[in-house]
Amino acid sequence: TAMPSWVIDRYGSNEVLRFTRDMMFPIIHFPNEVIIKVHAASLNPIDLSMRSGYGATALNMKRDPLKLKTGETEFPLTLGRDVSGVIMECGLGVSYFKPGDEVWAAIPPWKQGTLSEFVVASGNEVSFKPKCLSHTQAAALPYVGLTAWSALNQVGGLNQSNCSGKRILILGASGGVGTFAVQLMKAWNAHVTAVCSHDASTLVKKLGADDVIDYKSGNLEEQLKTLPLFDFILDNVGGSTEKWALDLLKKWSGATYVTLVTPFLINMDKLGVADGMLQTGVTVGSKTLKHLLKGVHYRWAFFMPSGPSLDEIAELVDSGKIQPVIDEVFSFSEVPKAFLKLEGGHARGKTVINVVS
């Protein structure tokens, strides 16, 4: 009935992480759910944000939309979005998987996370793990892979058949999403310009980037203006980038800028659910219109859980076109250390945790 897990009982910095042996064992509530024995998990920036309470308003609404669980809180909360492991149990409606299957998934942030011995997922969030990867390697990919996939394919409209010869700019190319995006765009035959710091440039070149720009060596905007215009920009950095980056796109040719840095959750935390959503809608609407009048498309993208997209990513991995980029691997007892590592920033790829030693 109980399992080992890393949980938080309140929001805060690293000292809120607590190891427990009596976290409640996950239960299948819906016929389409499966229980996965976690072999490996990995950390993403969203885990740091969630540990500090970022997005709690929106996530709690999603956990309990009708406010049925009066007085119950979201705690103890397990963080961790990525899982590679083995199916232990299937709901009655699951026909695609059976106990013993090796799978991987990214669990959406409103559900209990993967820094635990077992985790529940919906069948449609799960996919067969790439055969060529170990669990440790596989755990590095789902969340960043699906985030990049959502931005490039679902929101950005890029796919295998329309990327050839397109000029793609990736800002923040050495993190988890960036390293995946570089490889995906190269797999689809685009021309990739990657922006990262100098010490990551060897890694990013090895992943296939055609041009690598060091954002620390002089004014980034000026450096990028000397290059031909782009068909597509993926922004993992945000901040003031937005003010000048859209000028680097080809005008009136369907060129698109997609950012993963949006104020959606912050607005809801600050203004409450209804006003937060309204404010967000107004912001994205006015920006979209403003840029459309200048001949370029402006879009926001978010992580979306998706087993079918992971199936496509698994094919690319097994065919050798995409590989996990792992910065460091920690044991399950070292979860707080792994969080500190991620907090230090400047990751070259992913921080992975082996749950089964």
On whether both 130 and 265 belong to a single domain, the answer is no
| Separation of alpha carbons 300 and 283, rounded Å | 11
Question: Does residue 135 share a domain with residue 55?
Answer: yes
- How many folded domains does the chain comprise? 2
Whether 148 is covered by a domain: the verdict is no
Q: Are 68 and 183 found together in one domain? A: no
CA distance linking residue 257 with residue 151, whole number of Å: 10
- pTM as predicted: 0.96
Q: Does residue 260 sit in the same domain as residue 332?
A: no
Integer angstrom CA distances of residue 205 from 30, 107, 210, 295, 349: 45, 31, 7, 31, 14
So what's the pLDDT on residue 52?
96
* Domain annotation covers residue 308: no
pLDDT, one tens digit per residue, over 81-106 is 999 999 999 999 999 999 999 999 99
Q: Decide: 207 and 182 in contact? Cβ < 8 Å.
A: yes
Inform me whether the pLDDT recorded for 77 exceeds 90.
yes
* Same domain flag for 79 and 178: no
Do residues 131 and 25 share a domain?
Answer: yes
Exposure on the CB side of residue 101, measured as CA atoms within 13 A: 21
Residue 319, token pair as written in the block: 């065919």
**Mean pLDDT for the stretch of residues 238-254:** 96
41 shares its domain with 167: no
Residue-range definition of the domain harbouring residue 57:
2-141+325-354
Classify residue 314: in a domain, yes or no.
Answer: no
Same domain, 123 and 72: yes
- One domain for residues 350 and 263: no
Angle at 193 between CA 189 and CA 195, to 5 degrees: 140
**Percentage above 90 pLDDT, the chain:** 91
Please check whether residues 172 and 202 belong to one and the same domain: yes
Average pLDDT over residues 239-263: 96
Q: How far is CA 51 from the centre of its chain?
A: 16
Is the pLDDT at 138 greater than 80, yes or no? yes
Give residue-wise pLDDT tens across range 305-344. 999 999 999 999 999 999 999 999 999 999 999 999 999 9
Residue 151 lies in a domain: no
CATH number at residue 14: 3.90.180.10
- Position 73 scores a pLDDT of 78
Q: Report the C-alpha gap between 249 and 255 in whole angstroms.
A: 6
Average pLDDT, the chain: 96
Task: State whether 62 and 125 are in the same domain.
Answer: yes
pLDDT beyond 90 at 132: yes
CATH number, position 253: 3.40.50.720
